[in-house]
Every structure is written in C-alpha cells, then in structure tokens.
Amino acid sequence: MPIRSKLPQVGLTIFSRMTQLANEHGAINLSQGFPDFPCDPDLLAGVSAAMAAGHNQYAPMPGLPTLRQAIAAKLLASQGVSIDPEHEITVTAGATQALYTVFAAVLAAGDEAIVLEPAYDSYAPAIAAQGAVPVRIALEAPSFAVDWDQVAAAITPRTRLIVVNNPNNPATSVFSAADLDALAALAERHDLLVLADEVYEHLVYADRHRSVLSHPTLRPRAAAVYSFGKTFHATGWKVGYLVAAPELSDEFRKLHQYLVFSVSTPMQHALAAHLAQPDHWRQLADFYRAKRDRLAAGLTAAGFRLLPCAGTYFQLVDYRPLRADLGELDFAQWLTRDIGVAAIPVSAFYHDGRDQGLVRFCFAKRDETIDAALGRLARLQS
C-alpha cells in the first residue's frame, strides 16, 4: 500500500541544496548556520569524564535535575525570571524536537497557527503534519517589523497558536518591549498560546533579549525553546530545552516521552557543569559581534548593501547593486559556482518565494574562513 504523504510538497531543504552545491564547486560555505570552529575543550572533556564515570544509561525523561537547575539559574540571571526546574523545564533532542513537541501537543486537525515570515523552515511542515493550517504573515525588509494590527486581523476562531522567533532567523531583528506587549495583548484577548523560538537569546548586539518568559501576561501561556547547539557551538549534539508553565509542560512531556524519552546522558552532565559557569554564555554577544563586524566591513567593500543585524549569527545583504539582473536563488547559485562563496536566498524563508534581492550569510565561522570568503567576494569589484 503506498504511503499517503502528510507533506507532499516537501523536498530537500534549501540548506542541503546550497551545501551540496558548495561542496561540488569547492565554495566557502557561509550558507548553512553552523560554526566551523571547535567547542570549548572543557566541554568536550566533560563529556568524556561523564562517560568514564559511568553516566551512559537513560537520563530521567525530563532531563537531568542538575542540568535543569543550571538552566533555571541561567534564566534567572539573564532574564530575571524564576523558573521551577522540576515542573517547567524539559530537556529535548535539540530545539527542533522541542518545537515539534509543542505543535503536536497544541494543534489538532483544522486548527490554525500564525507564523511570521521570513520563518525558519521547520515551522510550517510541523504544523501541517498535525493536520493544522499555517497562517502566514509576511514581514518586509529592511526592518522586518511586525505589524500587530495585521496579526490581529489574521486571528480567527480556529487560531490556537502564534509562533514567534526572537531574535529572528533570517531577519536578524529583535523584539522590543512594545512588541512583547502587543503580542501579550493579542494572546490574552483571544485566549491563544505562544510558541517562542529563542535559540539566539544570547546573540543580541545593540539592545537586549526580551523573553516571553519575562512578560507576566505571556508567562502562563507561552512555551519558549532554546538550543545548546547555538549557545555552545555544538549544533551536532542536538540538545535543547523547552520552558513552559507546569500545566503546559505536563502536556508537552506526555509527547516528549514517546518521541525520544530522554536525551544523551553524558552530554547533559557536561552541559550542566559548563552552563553553571556564566562566562561561557555571557561573552557570546561580544564574540559574535566581532565576527559580524569583520564580515560586514568586507561585504560593504565588495559592494553589497547591508541590512541591520540586531541579533543571530547571520547577516542579510541586498546584492542588487552588484547583480540586479538575477533573482535571489539564481544569484545564490551563481555566487556559489562562479565566485566560490555560498549564501542562502531569503526568498526560501517565505512560502510564496517573494524576491526582495536579499541573501543571508552566516558569520559563525573562524576568522580565517571569513577572510577567505571576503577575499573571493572582493573579486565582485574587479
């Protein structure tokens, strides 16, 4: 019997396609969002020590108590919020599993979830897999500011959830206090839940990160998702966590226990010890700001028009001063094949593929990688 696909329109992601093209042409890969520098050796040593100490069997389903306590302490220090580590924190197999768990727990067939685009590409398929409908609202360059009146107009009796990404990948925008107030007012007025993807929480440059957890109206009706891969340069470990009020966490854990049950035990031990040292996450904004500025200077010299980068480890550019004759996907492919630097077309983050003449570069790279890429991009001016 043939499978009746729940996601008939889904194929290979743009990230996999551009990475494959970069590999074929020997291009420097600034497209996919992963660091090319190593984790802290102390973190790696912590994993080895945990394995040697015999921590190789199942962890508790919601996560090691020591890790959840360290997460709660970090959220208190960074956001000023008091989180119950026993009933409000669940350690997950990466942020993507946390996101999927919330979608699966909250949405039923026929429900609607509002998604702000440009959006991370896992949201809409995860919503559709529940038989629910993603209702998309487009944010426009260069500011990608949210028109909350437009969001309000999109709410129907079927709306169950609003999905936000703050800081936003790929827009690199960051919510203001007014944004959180507007979101809270809508959620309260229409009795909605909020799913906040906050994986770039520590990568905010000009302002500060404002979590949904810090807003008193949002706190009981929001789920916030985080990633150790983004925080500690270990995307391949796939360890994240989900924070929500006890009654929400109870429902999320019902699914979590059957999706993965628990997450890698030795890695949880190592992460607990590493997270308990605040300098390991407090220095991230300065670390990445220097890389952002290094890339930005070279991109400007190469002739790109830069958009503001308030957060994340991505930089958006308008390439039309250089090649106005090409659409975003064609430009990204040309840049990879002919110049030797891979980027991601921002149109891939919109369901309608809207073309604004923008591509995304990742600066979570060694300085040598950034400089080598800039050396190739300098040929655009020759």
Mean pLDDT in consecutive groups of 10 residues from the start of the chain, 382 residues? 83 87 96 93 97 98 98 97 98 98 98 97 96 97 97 98 98 97 98 98 95 98 97 96 98 97 98 96 97 98 98 98 96 97 97 96 98 97 80
User: For residue 318, what are the β-bridge partners?
Assistant: 305, 358
Beta strands 28-29; 133-138: pairing state: unpaired
Q: Which residues contact 335 (CB under 8 A, 6 or more apart)?
A: 319, 341, 342, 343, 359
The radius of gyration of the chain from alpha carbons, rounded to an integer in Å, stands at 21
**pLDDT at residue number 166:** 98
Q: Where in the chain is the domain with CATH 3.90.1150.10?
A: 14-39+282-381
Give the C-alpha distances (Å, rounded to integers) separating 312 from 36, 156, 199: 16, 32, 9
Class of domain 14-39+282-381: alpha beta
- Give the per-residue pLDDT at 28: 97
Domain 41-277 falls under CATH 3.30.70.260? no
Contact between 166 and 146 (Cβ < 8 Å): no
Supply the pLDDT for residue 10.
82
Least Cα distance to 111 among 189, 218, 193, 187 occurs for 193
CB 43 within 8 A of CB 234: yes
Residues with Cβ < 8 Å from 208, sequence gap 6 or more? none
Residue 317 confidence (pLDDT): 98
- The Cα 66–Cα 380 span in angstroms is 52
Element (H, E) at 161: strand 159-165
Residue 284 to residue 292: CA distance in whole angstroms = 12
Numbered ranges of CATH 3.40.640.10 in the chain: 41-277
Question: Which pTM was predicted?
Answer: 0.96
Cα angle value 126/130/132 (rounded, 5°): 95
Of 191, 237, 238, the residue nearest 218 (C-alpha): 191
User: What is the pLDDT at residue 8?
Assistant: 86
